[in-house]
């Protein structure tokens, strides 16, 4: 898992060992699976029992948990950057703007856990992914037009409600089919899958955002009539070496000393390129939410899980 996440981070930073790190991650995961199956056949002690994954309910639950965390991680890298680099909010203003997401997530999780009643867990999970998808679609539509964090309140409330529903159900759904002697082992796998999803979402959304910014900025600079070929080449080289999302204020400070028409043109390109890059980054949580919705539809075909007393109180670490 670490190899895959580090590979994405190396790609984000323009490193040279991207393929090698990704290969290490894939080979490592494959080798672990092979080692576990081999020890299982030899009836030797195992780090974890591969039989856990024979349960469809467990597999779907793990997948839903990981997709939920990918969506959360992707949103938590894209939205703060939008608020700080585009709207130029400080850390306090950014935190307050994102508060509807976390507060709604917490409140809905508590309410859904206590008042789910006779509703099927898979139905609540489906509704959670549907709300999360809706919130992400609205955010993608609003990002280029928003000049204040107030525009994000309704989408954040919707996405937070969806995440709250997922948090209230996924853990128990995943662990319910597991026997009492294996539930701690299963909870560890569940936690590892969620942690990987969060790390992957953060790394992948960030990498996609910077790659999109670099490509878009370079393309717009090359098509600009206000920049000379030498200036266009300088922009492309700078982005290739160190692409980063910058506020217009930061960019103007770096451009100090350049001709005013060059400053104005590069600031204009930056203003237009950033929202598109952030929209593309938000596709990561949207795709994760949609895949979670598909997974929840498959959950609907399975019988309702039997509540597990051993699983109660275990939460994702």
Determine contact, residues 22/50, Cβ cutoff 8 Å.
Answer: no
pLDDT at residue 317, rounded to an integer: 46
Parent domain of 283: 48-211+275-299
- For residue 110, give the CATH number of its domain: 1.20.1250.20
175, part of any domain:
yes
Q: Would you state the pLDDT for residue 316?
A: 47
Q: Residue 169: in which H helix or E strand, if any?
A: helix 153-175
Distance of CA 129 to the CA centre of its chain: 14
Give residue-wise pLDDT tens across range 71-99. Answer: 999 999 989 988 888 888 888 999 999 99
Number of domains forming the structure of the chain: 1
Does a structural domain hold residue 104?
yes
Give every CB contact of residue 176 below 8 A, 6+ residues apart in sequence. 57, 305, 306, 307, 308, 311
Residue 103 in any domain: the answer is yes
Chain position carrying tokens 């997948």: 63
Dihedral angle at the C-alpha atoms of 67, 70, 72, 75, nearest 10 degrees? Answer: -130
pLDDT at 14: 64
Q: What's the confidence (pLDDT) of residue 13?
A: 65
Spans of the chain, pLDDT less than 50 = 313, 315-317
Does 65 map to a domain?
A: yes
pLDDT of residue 118: 73
In contact, 205 and 265? CB cutoff 8 Å:
no
What's the predicted TM-score (pTM) here?
0.83
* Residue-wise DSSP of 56-86: HHHHHHHHHHHHHHHHHHHHHHHHHHIIIII
Decide: 189 and 62 in contact? Cβ < 8 Å: yes
């Amino acid at each position: 898992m670490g190899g895959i996440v580090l590979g994405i981070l190396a790609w984000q930073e323009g490193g040279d060992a991207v393929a090698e790190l990704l290969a290490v991650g894939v080979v490592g995961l494959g080798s672990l699976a092979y080692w576990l199956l081999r020890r299982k056949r030899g009836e030797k002690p195992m780090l974890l029992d591969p039989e856990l994954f024979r349960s469809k309910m467990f597999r779907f639950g793990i997948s839903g948990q990981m997709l939920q965390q990918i969506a959360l991680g992707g949103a938590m890298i894209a939205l703060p950057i939008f608020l700080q680099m585009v709207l130029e909010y400080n850390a306090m203003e950014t935190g307050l703007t994102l508060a509807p997401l976390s507060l709604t997530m917490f409140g809905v999780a508590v309410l859904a856990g206590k008042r789910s009643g006779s509703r099927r867990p898979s139905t609540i999970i489906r509704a959670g992914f549907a709300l999360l998808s809706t919130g992400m679609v609205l955010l993608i539509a609003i990002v280029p037009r928003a000049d204040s964090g107030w525009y994000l309140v309704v989408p954040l409330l919707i996405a937070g409600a969806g995440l709250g529903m997922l948090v209230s159900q996924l853990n128990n759904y995943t662990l319910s089919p597991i026997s009492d002697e294996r539930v701690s082992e299963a909870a560890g796998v569940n936690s590892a899958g969620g942690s990987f999803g969060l790390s992957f979402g953060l790394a992948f959304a960030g990498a996609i955002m910077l790659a999109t910014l670099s490509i878009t900025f370079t393309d717009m600079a090359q098509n600009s009539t206000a920049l000379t070929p030498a200036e266009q080449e300088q922009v492309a080289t700078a982005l290739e070496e160190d692409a980063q999302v910058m506020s217009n204020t930061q960019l103007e400070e770096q451009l100090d000393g350049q001709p005013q028409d060059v400053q104005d043109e590069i600031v204009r390109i930056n203003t237009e390129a950033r929202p598109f890059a952030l929209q593309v980054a938000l596709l990561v949580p949207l795709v994760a939410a949609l895949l979670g919705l598909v997974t929840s539809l498959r959950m609907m075909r399975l019988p309702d899980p039997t509540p597990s007393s051993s699983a109660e109180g275990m939460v994702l670490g």
